[in-house]
Amino acid sequence: MGLYSFTGLDAKGRPIKGVREADNERILRQELRREGIFVEDVKPAKEKGRGLNREVDLSFLRSVDPMDVALATRQLATLLKASVPLTEALLAISDQLTQDKKRQKLGQVLSEVRQAVNEGTALADALARHPKIFSEYYVSMARSGEAAGNLDVVLSTLAEFLERQHNLKSKIKSAMTYPIVMGIIAVVFIAILMTFVVPNMVVIFEDFDQALPWNTQLLISVSNFFSSYWFHSLVALLLMRWGFRRWRQTPRGRAKWDSFVLSMPLFGEMVRKVAIARFASTLGTMLHSGVPILKALGIVKAVMGNRKLEAVIDEVATAVREGESMASVLQRSGEFPPLVIHMIAIGEKSGELEAMLHHVSDTYNLEIDTTLNRLTSVLEPMMILIMGGTVGFIVFSILMPIMQMNSLIQ
């Protein structure tokens, strides 16, 4: 099956063009004619012309932006709500996306989904063929919408969920950008001082044959070490990083690391709140869309991002299967705050669990913003103090013996 670009006229005589997958040009022409499109030209999408004008298709190297998926989902929900048939809605969105080089990959995927749906495959099954773009959560939501006959409503809810998750990730990345940039600047600046400035000053100190203060001797020792063994240090750091990643990929290592992360000051609080917001938002959305609670809990487990909290969700699923309430298991675990437990307990008793979960999600999204602001306000002066203190120590260690030499000369 190859990828072909085509141009033509639609049923109303308007120009239309796009990119489709087909076994050959003849089959693509037949398919387009069945859709009421008068085909003017069809050619392989990889060719822009002939000879040296050949264009290499590098779309497989592009990753799909989650916000593009959310936007396409919202557009699909809008078209379905307007009573546009599913295959035509997928066609319109895929043609629009394939005309944009940055979003061409998603357009090609939706074109494949449309072709599968056109052949009789359920939408959820067609989406499941592309797990790198459409998660298990996405597929399950689409399947529940198809089963309940409210696919447009489910897709609209799904688009809102994807947008909230993307906004949350963007806030966290923005909050961590400043400390990371400051850390990189500090490391580069200190490396320059230790590599070029300090060794030159050592030569001057040696010419005077004067006893140096302890801090200057420490600085010289560190500078000599990094000047002589910088390559070995770099290799050692890379090996330690590789070993740590291998250890963290093991079940035991991942469990220990995730437990340690939750116990970290400031960062642990942030990780826990993000996980709780994901738990509440995902579970509430899936229950509202008609997904069975046991299946929903299985999918929620995959979005927690922490093995220790995933184990709690396993216990919750087992308890629910045996007829026990979620709130009691969450309370026994000691990993969820009392506010969350009380709101879930009220939701279970009143039959408004979905609404209560959405309230929990909204509450913790606000708390995440507050925690991010507090974290940033703490990290910024901390980075400045560490950077300023280190540079000040280096400068003081250099200037102190110079001042002693000047006093001896006078």
Q: Domain of 49: which CATH number?
A: 3.10.20
Per-residue pLDDT, 48: 42
Categorize the per-residue pLDDT at 209 as very low, low, confident or very high, splitting at 50, 70 and 90: low
pLDDT tens readout for residues 5-18: 778 776 667 777 77
> SS3 of 90, please?
helix
Is the pLDDT reported for residue 62 higher than 60?
A: no
In angstroms, rounded to a whole number, what is the distance separating the alpha carbons of residues 2 and 22? 6
Angle at which helices 338-350 and 326-333 pack, to 10 degrees?
A: 170
**Owning domain of residue 221:** 163-410
Contact 288, 314 (CB under 8 A): no
Categorize the per-residue pLDDT at 346 as very low, low, confident or very high, splitting at 50, 70 and 90: very high
Per-residue pLDDT, 239: 94
Residues 243 and 281 occupy one common structural domain:
yes
Buried b (16+ CB within 10 A) or exposed e, 60-75: eeeebeeebbbbbbbb
**Overall average pLDDT of the 87-106 stretch:** 86
Per-residue pLDDT, 173: 78
Give the residue from 20, 35, 57 where a domain finishes: 57
Longest dimension (CA), the chain: 100
Number of domains in the chain: 3
Categorize the per-residue pLDDT at 310 as very low, low, confident or very high, splitting at 50, 70 and 90: confident
**CA Rg, the chain, in Å?**
30
Q: Other CB atoms closer than 10 Å to residue 397's CB: what's the count?
A: 22
Half-sphere exposure of 94 (CA within 13 A, CB side): 19
Residues 384 and 266 occupy one common structural domain:
yes
pLDDT tens readout for residues 100-156: 778 888 888 898 898 888 888 889 889 988 888 888 778 888 887 887 788 888 888
**Percent of the chain's residues with pLDDT above 70:** 89
Nearest C-alpha neighbor of 271 from the set 354, 344, 335: 335
Q: For 44, phi and psi rounded to 5 degrees?
A: -55, 135
Residues 321 and 357 occupy one common structural domain:
yes
Residues 347 and 405 occupy one common structural domain:
yes
Q: Fill in the amino acid letter for 157.
A: T
CATH number of the domain encompassing residue 195: 1.20.81.30
Residues 192 and 109 occupy one common structural domain:
no
Residues 149 and 181 occupy one common structural domain:
no
DSSP code of residue 264 = S
Residues 176 and 33 occupy one common structural domain:
no
Task: Identify the bridge partners of residue 194 per DSSP, sorted by sequence position.
Answer: none
Tell me if the pTM is above 0.95.
no
Secondary structure, 3-state, 263-305: HCCCHHHHHHHHHHHHHHHHHHHHHHCCCCHHHHHHHHHHHCC
Residues 170 and 148 occupy one common structural domain:
no
Residues 301 and 320 occupy one common structural domain:
yes
**Overall average pLDDT of the 358-365 stretch:** 87
